[in-house]
Structure 1
């Protein structure tokens, strides 16, 4: 059964999509960009600050669905500039210190609102 997940602790969807969809023991989280859910504005700052905001948004959605960041099994990362990869990785590693999820990281020609990063994840519980 498909269940839509929504939390005020993450940015509101700006189009016809859900923050996340839960199906059984799996959670599919939509791509998150570095938008502060309180202001609706993109956070200013470098890749580290934007990565932190994105992962906090993801964490909020994951937890609203009753999962934890330890349940994340796959991450899809889109960077505006692959030169940001080392700095992104520093912050990302803090959110997944043990048994990190599988991951795809690509450079995107352009991201929504001209942000530096977007991440989508899949979580699952056994």
Structure 2
């Protein structure tokens, strides 16, 4: 059995708590919930929803790449938005980002998110084959 590997790419801000950005185990990559935070650690609290969504998805893609995976290997994506009104805009941005990949997905309206941000995304993908 392969060992569990914890991944914190240098191109992403350091985790804000006792966790890793991703865990690679049993042929899967488990990406922790990503918020719209830049590599330098700036929280995009005052940014538009679209800018926040693009940053979150860029964070997820960078983490997947650091794990030897990619957007095309996603199997499950969970999206948390502060209000369901943001769902259509997120879906359009997500479709551009994901391209032909259509993993299982849930979009959950949650109310206020951590730090006053508007979107969080977590994911599961296949690790490198």
Segments of 4+ in structure 1 off by > 4 A? none
Q: Is the 8 A contact 2:74 2:101 kept in 1?
A: no
Q: 2:68 aligns with which of 53, 66, 69?
A: 66
Q: Residue 24 of structure 1: CA displacement?
A: 2.8
Aligned to 2:43: 42
The one-character-per-residue Cα deviations of 1:16-73 (angstroms, maximum 9, x if unpaired) are 11100000310000000000112x1112321111000000001111000000110111
CA contact (8 A) 1:11 1:57 kept: no
SS of 1:89's equivalent?
helix
Residue 75 of structure 1 pairs with residue 72 of structure 2? no
Partner of 1:13: 15
Query: 1:77 touches 1:105 (CA, 8 Å); kept in 2?
Result: yes
Contact 2:34 2:120 in 1 (8 A): yes
Distance (Å, rounded) in 2 between the aligned partners of 1:64 and 1:5: 8
User: SS of 1:37's equivalent?
Assistant: coil
* Distance in 2 of aligned mates of 1:34 and 1:88: 13
Give the distance between the partners of 1:67 and 1:60, measured in 2 at CA.
Answer: 10
